[in-house]
Amino acid sequence: MSALVLDGKALAKKTEEELSQRVAALKEKSGGQTPILATILVGADPASATYVKMKGNACARIGMGSLKVEMSDKTTTEELLAKIDELNSNEHIHGILLQHPVPPQIDERACFDAIALEKDVDGVTCLGFGRMSMDEEAYGCATPKGIMRLLEAYNIELSGKHAVVVGRSPILGKPMSMMMLGANATVTICHSRTQNLAGHIKQADVIVGAVGKPEFIKAEWIKDGAVVIDAGYHPGGVGDIELGPLVDRVAAYTPVPGGVGPMTINTLIYQSVDSGEKKMG
């Protein structure tokens, strides 16, 4: 059978067109104001700088503003907290992104949690995670929320299905599990130390690879007709799942690249526009 390709790149492009219209309407109604996303980059990590630039470019494509904050690799926790507090207090800023990772001398968790809930458009605070888990209003963590939006766009039903999430990171595996539970899936959370991992994965109607190791999850572990979500990306253009042998026997899959990746930045921008509408509308 021919599997359905869950094309995140195409969905992100379509969403940007819709967001452009929403930003234009907001601009007209507010006398020229647009939502603004503040991005904080601490240090000079090239990959982080590239990600921040991509996020700024995405803002520009839909006509919303971005404020780039760059801080040195000698920045202290106290200095970063002060900057976040300043952005929290700025009524013209609607979303705050602290680019991960920060230099080792900084308490990253304390800085994430200093971001005001209504500006936590990347979904990284403990408060946001707790509220999301309890089905209260909060912005979802960008990658898992992007996956949920992708599944919804392609009408992939989760209710009653057995989802296996391989990975337990605070910004991907854990929130992914809670979101799927909220969509009435039965969720098993596995990780790199799970015993009989293959056995768990063989039971999955929906498998999410979020373990951070290239092709760690083998094609032979995945049953025919499953939905395969690969949230990994590694050199050579491979993800966390061995996708090649699966494309002719699963129901649907996310390609690598072009599946989950584009939805992460798109969700960040989507939630920033939503925050701007709530504040300005």
Q: Which residues are catalytic?
A: 55, 99, 122
Question: CB count, 10 Å around CB of 79?
Answer: 14
Sign for the pseudo-dihedral over CA of 218, 222, 224, 228: negative
State how far the Cα of 235 lies from the Cα of 172, in Å rounded to an integer. 20
Residue pair 188/165 in contact (Cβ under 8 Å)? The answer is yes
Question: Is residue 160 left, alpha or beta, with left meaning phi > 0 and alpha meaning psi from -120 to 50?
Answer: left
- Order of strands across the sheet with 162-166? 4-5, 252-253, 227-230, 206-209, 162-166, 186-190
Tokens representing 181 are 């539970």
Q: Measuring CA to CA, how many Å separate 101 from each of 2, 13, 42, 46, 121?
A: 39, 27, 8, 12, 17
Q: Measuring CA to CA, how many Å separate 270 from each of 20, 230, 276?
A: 10, 21, 10
How deeply is 108 buried, as exposed, middle or buried, from its count of CB atoms within 10 A (0-12, 13-18, 19+)? middle
Angle 182-258-210 (CA atoms, 0-180°, nearest 5)?
A: 45
Residue pair 64/37 in contact (Cβ under 8 Å)? The answer is yes
Residue pair 187/180 in contact (Cβ under 8 Å)? The answer is yes
